[in-house]
Structures are given as C-alpha cells and as structure tokens.
Amino acid sequence: MKRWCGCLLGLMGLTVAIICALPWWITPKQVETWVNRFLAPDYALQLPERWHLHLTGLQLPELDIRAGQCTLATFSDVRLHWWEPRQLDVAHAGLDYDCLNRLPSSDETKTSPNLTALFSVLPSVEVNVQHFRLENSQALDVPPRVRALLDANIAATANYDGHRLQLTANAKTHDDYVILQHQSTLARLNHSFQWQGQTDYQPMNGQTYHLHFSTQLQEELSQLPQQGELRVDWQNTDFSVNKGALQLSWNGEKGQINAQDLSRDKPLLDVPFTFTADGLAINWGTFYWTFDGYQPIKGFFGLALRKPQEGWLPLETDVDVIVQTFGEFGKGEIVISGKKGEIGGGADKNQLNFDLKTRGDLRYNNTVAQTNLDYHISGVFEAPTLLFRPGSVFKMDNVQPDTKIHARLPLDNIQVGRYGLEGRLQATLQGFTPQFKQLNLKLDGQAHEFIAGIKTVFDLRDEKQNLRAAEMRAANRWDWTIDGEAHWTSLNTPVNIKGVGFWEADHIELNQLSAHSGNVHTGGVKMAPLTLELKDRLRWDYEAAHLRGLLQAQTEWIEFAYGGRFVRPVFGVGIEGKSIDNFNLAGDLKAGALGPIDVTARYENQALNGNIRWQGQSAKVFQSLFPQQWSWIIRHGSIQGGSDFVINEDGVALQGEFNLRNVGITFPDGEIQALTIRFPINYQKLALRTARTKPIQVAAKNIRVGALAIREAAFDVFGTYPNSAKQPLTLQKVKVGVFDGLLSVPSLSFPQRKIAVLRFDNIDLAQVMELAQYNQVSVSGRVNASLPFWLGHNACLICNGRLEQAGKLKIKLHDNMVSSLKKGGLTERMLVDLLKEMELEKSHANLNLTPDGNMTLGATITGLNPTRRPHHPITLNYTHQENMFELWDMVDYGSQFEQNLQYQLYRHLEQ
C-alpha cells in the first residue's frame, strides 16, 4: 500500500515537473501555429524563432500581427510578468495605417461589447507601452493640429485591478516636447460604469485645448449613456474665436449644448435637445456670431433626427434655420428649411438625400445679398452634390456715393459638387461707376467644376496647403461670352462691348474683345466712333497678382474746337500689372504720318499717371492741325517734345515741354520763316497755364503778312488760356524788327486792364511811305514813337501817342503834286516853292486812333528849304485825319493778290 502511494506521489510529481517544464519544450513557432488556428482566416500571429522564458515571466524580442499581405502591428522588446502583480511591458509598438485601411470588411452582424463580461474575464494587469507610433499615415488628410499628434511619440499605461481601469498617456514631439497628456478612469457602479477624465493638448505654440468629461456608460456599449457632461476649452489665435469654451451635458432624455466666446464674453451657442423614442430633436436652438467685429449675427434652428425601426441609419431629418443680422452695417434675414431629408442612406449607409429652400436677404455695410434658392443635396458623405432647381437666383446690390452695381446670377440646374459648379452659368451686372453709367453687362457660358476662386468652400484647400494635387483633379473653368453696353462718362459717348473668354483656376483670360463707341464730343474735342480691340490675349492671374495684355484703340479722326484735327489716330498699348485697377501700360500713338509718340503710364486708384515722349520728327506731320479754312501750309521744320500726364476724376493734366524748330509756314496772304517755339506745357482743369519764370518763347526770322514785312520777331507768353480778368494771358519782352527799326512792348495782358505802350525805335519813314503807297511825297530819315494803346477801350485805341524824329529828316514833294498845288493861286505858289523840299531839324507829332479806325495827327515841324537862300528856319503846324482801316485795305489789296498767287504755287508743289 505504501508502495502504491509512493508511486502515485512520484507520478504526480513527475506530471507537475513535466507541466512546469512544458514552456521549455514548446518552441515559439509551435505556439504561433497553435494560436493562428483560432484567429480569423485573414489574420496571423508571427513570433520570433526563439524566446526567453523565466520562472517569473516571458521575454520576446519582437511580435507581429499580419492582416492579409501586410503587417498590421509590430511589437518589440515585449516582457510579460505572469505572477502577481501581473505586468506587460512593450518597449516599441507600431500600427500601420496603410495596412489598416486594407483590412477585409465583413457584413456579418457583430455582438455589441458588454462591459460586465469584459471586466469579468480581464485579469488584473498593468500594461505599459513606452513608445507607440502610427506608421504610414501621410495619406491621412488631417489639419496640422491633428497631424502633430499622429506624428508624435506616444507612451501609455493601462492598469486594471478587477474593479477599475485607469489609463494615462502622453505624446511628445521629436524634440521631446510634451503636446498631449491624458488621464481617465473607468469604474464599475452597480449596473453601470462611470468614465471620467481629462485631456490637455498643445500641438504648437499659441494653441491649447483642455477636455474634461464624465459619463455613465451602460453595460452594452451600443446603448447611449444615460447621463454625462464634457467641456472643451481652447485658445488658438488662428480661430475666429481665439478663446472659447464648448459644454455638452445630458441627463436622461434632456440635454444642452452651450458655447462661449471668452475673449468677448459673449455667447456662441445655446442649444437644448431631447432624445426621443426614435431619435433626437432640437427645438429652436440659438447661435450667435459677430462678423468683422461690427456686424452681429443671430440664428435660430430646429432639427429633428429620426432613426429607422431597426438600426441607426438612415436618419430622417427635418431642419429649419433662421439667420438674422443686425447692427450699424445693416439688417437682414435668411430662412433655410427642409423636410424629410435622409442622412446615411444607401447600401453603405453613407448617402445624403435632402431638399432645401433658402429665402431672404442679408445686408452688410453698402452690400445687400438676396437669395431665392431651391436645391437638392445628394451623394455620399465624402463627396456630396447640390443641384439648384429652376427659378433659383442669387442677387447682390452694392451702393457707394459714386457707384451702384446690381449683380444677378440665375442658378437654374447648376450643380455644385466637390470640385465646383457644373452647368450653364450666367451673370448680369447693371448700374454705374465713376467711369461708366447705364452699365449693362452679361456673361453667359458653361461652367465645369468651377469654384469662382472660393477654395475654402470646395475641396481644393486644406490647412496643410496640399493644394496643387487637388487642383489638378478639377477642371475649375468657366467659358463665357461677354456682351453689353454702357455710357462712357468722361467721353460722353455710348459704348458697346463684346468678347470671349474664360475663368480657369487662378486666372481670368479674354481671348477676344471689341468695344465700339458713338461719336465723342467733350471738352473742345470731337472724335469719330472709337474702336478698342485686343491684339493679344488679356490675362489676369489674380492669385499671383499679375495682369498682362495688348490692346489697340483707333478712330477715323480727332477734331479740335478751333478746327485742327488728327487723321486716323491709332493707339497700340501693352499693359502689365497686378489687377484691372492697378497696372502699367506702354505703347505708341500714330496718326497718319504723325508719330510714333511713345506713351508709358500707370493706372492706380482710378487715376492714370504717365509720360508722353515725342522723338524728333518733321513738322509737316502737323499739317492736319491747321484748319482747312486757314489754308496754311507747313513747308519744313521739326517737332519734338514730352510731357508727364495725369487722367483722373478731375480731368486731364499735362506737365512737360513741346518744341518747334526752324519751321516754315506759307498762308494765302503771307508766310513765316524760321519759326521756333519753346512751349512749356502745364495743362489742368481745361486750362493752359505758364509761369512768368518759364514762359512760352516764340521767335521767327521773317514774317510777311500782306504788305507788312517783319524780321527777327521774338516774344514771351505767360499766364492762363482761356484767359479772364483774374487769370490773364500776358505778352512780355516783345521785340519785332519792322521798317528797319525796332518795335518793343514791355508787357501786354489780355484782357487788357490798363494802357500798354508800343515803342518804335529808329523807324525808316521811307519804308513806311512805301508801304502806304504815298507817291506824291518822298520822305527819308528815321523817327521814334511811343504809342500808348488799349485794345477794347471805348474812346481810343492809341491814346496820345507821340512821334519824334531821330536824326535828320528830308521831305520832298513830287513834281505832279507841286504842279497841282500851284494852280491854287499866288499864295499857294509861294508856299509850295518854300516847302517843296525841306530838311527838318526838329519835329514831333501827337497821334490818336479811335476804335473805328479814324486817326488824328497833329504835328509841329521846324526846318529849312536847302534850295533857297538864305536858309531861314521854317516852323509849321500840321494836322491830318484819315481812316487807317480803309487805308490798310487799299494798301494790302495788291499785296494779297501777289501772296495768294505765291501760296497757290506752294500748294501745288506740296500736293
């Protein structure tokens, strides 16, 4: 008996020894094969060739879990302590996101996890993971604040003591900076479980988030918690609300959502909700917003979510939203409503199906937006589409002191998808601007994935700035034609516009453009209808702030009020700049043989500032600027000049200089030779102004007008034209060679407000008599004269003028005049014999000329007759009256005939 007992004890000891030694007999590969028999067919455990066993635990250098053809998770340096207290340590753990996305899916109904059962089977254990990383997550499209967490090094500890599960975790960046800390506890409370904790997250400088939560979970995790609350506080300078808090709480069927702008101490959300038997209901929750810091927005919304009898999806949804604006920049209201929408439909429970309406208007500052939209939302969650019903229209009005624009966009059958608008898209602009009134433009064309530059709405922009790849997937284009009309204010003429172009991605391009005006009549200038055309495409890259193009403007003629004209002017110009209201231009102006005149300018702030440069050219190109009725012919000479200019709401302003050199001009009753003009240009507010210190300088070698010949003429002009009493035009430094003497005028203003003085020095009387064609008397010698005159005076043109001889004068009566005078009698014969030839020693005369041309001359003469002895002095008082205008007409008649004949010969030669 004792022997059997000893054998039995020995057998039991051996069995225990064998069992205890069993882990040393079984290899890791045998365990791997045994475990994989119990795993799902698509999953497999991969163990190393060897492991390290101890009486207290097990150590593995590595452990992999495979799913399909990829490694789902990897664990390295794994240590298991299986005696109390149990502990599992993992030095490094990794989860492959790319492999996770390729996990096989199963449509089989899964049993919901039960926390009571889970707590019952879990052993008391502490699990420590020193380093955890999510691998291959670059394809995951998340904001930078989330990306910082995905790329971080995470350490976590979970401790379960049979009644309570505690979890702590932290995340660090590569430079060992802590960005996340988490602590939470899940504990059993009778038939429920209390879960509470907090999380602090700081992904980058200037961004902090704090989450605190507490809730009671049901045994079945698929059941909603009966009560709970959570609060999120944030600080982020990139958010519209830099500092705020969001709080969610519920107890049974009732719940509340609140949000607060802590920076302004103003509410953002106030939303009560109710869990119903079949879903969730929100009865007029309220939200608040302050746009641009000045315009408060308040909204009310109602929401009803109803789940089906079985499962959670699809949710039937009713929604009503009222948005109101109020404040110093205007008021408005928009209503959005929809009934029986569907969320989560389709075979994959990921589709939307919703009919909505939007009505109302919103006002902000000087802009009013009006909506009348019916649309249908459908598609999957990741790529919903919106289709506008017929009759949908969006309107916008902008009113400024000098601008009023009404924009209208009919949206019939326009589809809005993930990448933009699809369908026939139109836009109409009406109103007026500082440059145009009666504006009426229409764009009409086809849109294909067109986003209108609103990348923040469509899936073309994310916070990682991965923009280009998404843009390449979308056409983002609107091809259109433009057709319209306006009244060009500055030129006072109607304009018709037609063109073809498109808006694609980040640029707008015009391929064809033609604009035609009516006749122009403004500011003393007339023009035939003006035509503007594109000579090369006009392209505006608005994101890169770059505008470029080549245009040409032309007309048949430009005529000035005085009668001169340009013939067939053509202005070709290239433009380059930032935008349509900020660009540079360069081009040239030609008009027949005139030009090219080089033009460079910059358009900014509704003003064109630039420069005109005119290289040396024959003055003959100016022939058309002489009115035909003048019948002037330019024979030779050159022209050159340049000017800065400004064209803005005040008109045109010029500042420069214009030069004529050695110009020869022939006209019917005379000619000008070697004319030179230095013309400083200062033109603004429809007036030409020159300063006294920088006058217009005019000089000519010879001038002939009828019978009058002038040589070496020169004078300066300064003042204002058109002139007035307050702003006169003044001649100064007038010097004219006439009758072999000199005429000078110190100063003469127009209109004349005081007497001016014409000063004649050393005038040859013989030439005066020759001009006057006095054949009965010969006069030789020279005189000086001072003739005060006043143009426009009602009493006299020349007032108390005075003539004095300069040196000796000789007067001789011709024989036929002597014979005629002697027939009068003895006294006349004696007087004629005495005076028929005289040498004047001293003489002077007073002269007056009335506005109607009547001259009165009173002279005192002292002299002697050299043919009679003795030479007794003779003193005479002489008075003469004659109409000088009639005399000039008679004198000039023959000369005009001669000049006209010469002019016709020149004109024939010029043709």
DSSP notation for 363-388: EETTEEEEEEEEEEEEEETTEEEEEE
pLDDT at residue number 576: 92
pLDDT at residue number 889: 63
pLDDT at residue number 79: 87
876: tokens are 């005479």
pLDDT at residue number 258: 92
515: tokens are 């604009």
Contact residues for 331 (Cβ-Cβ < 8 A; gap 6+): 324, 325, 363
Q: What angle do CA 637, 641, 644 make, to 5 degrees?
A: 165
Contact residues for 805 (Cβ-Cβ < 8 A; gap 6+): 781, 782, 783, 784, 840, 842, 843, 844
Whether pTM > 0.75 for this model: the answer is no
199: tokens are 């999380």
Closest CA to 278 of 223, 318, 316: 316
Contact residues for 261 (Cβ-Cβ < 8 A; gap 6+): 241, 243, 244, 267, 268
Closest CA to 181 of 171, 190, 192, 167: 171
Q: What is the DSSP letter of 726?
A: S
pLDDT at residue number 482: 93
Strands 87-96 and 125-135: parallel
Are the CB atoms for 455 and 461 separated by under 8 Å?
yes
Torsion-angle region of 212 (φ positive above 0: left; ψ -120 to 50: alpha; else: beta): beta
pLDDT at residue number 869: 67
**What gap in Å lies between CA 252 and CA 274, rounded to an integer?**
9
Are the CB atoms for 191 and 219 separated by under 8 Å?
yes
Q: Which residues pair with 403 in a beta bridge?
A: 400
Cis peptide before 314 (omega within 30 of 0): yes
Q: Which residues pair with 672 in a beta bridge?
A: 665, 703
**What gap in Å lies between CA 897 and CA 125, rounded to an integer?**
131
pLDDT at residue number 293: 57
Cis peptide before 41 (omega within 30 of 0): no
Are the CB atoms for 858 and 845 separated by under 8 Å?
yes
Closest CA to 849 of 805, 888, 894: 888
| pLDDT-flagged residues of the chain (< 50) | 1-22, 24, 107-109, 461-465, 892-911
Are the CB atoms for 853 and 885 separated by under 8 Å?
yes
Closest CA to 55 of 36, 83, 31, 28: 83
Contact residues for 338 (Cβ-Cβ < 8 A; gap 6+): 317, 318, 319, 320, 354, 355, 356, 357
Q: What angle do CA 864, 866, 870 make, to 5 degrees?
A: 75
118: tokens are 């889970």
**What gap in Å lies between CA 547 and CA 535, rounded to an integer?**
15
**What gap in Å lies between CA 721 and CA 147, rounded to an integer?**
73
Burial class (CB in 10 A: 0-12, 13-18, 19+), 417: middle
Residue appearing with tokens 């309406």: 357
Torsion-angle region of 24 (φ positive above 0: left; ψ -120 to 50: alpha; else: beta): alpha
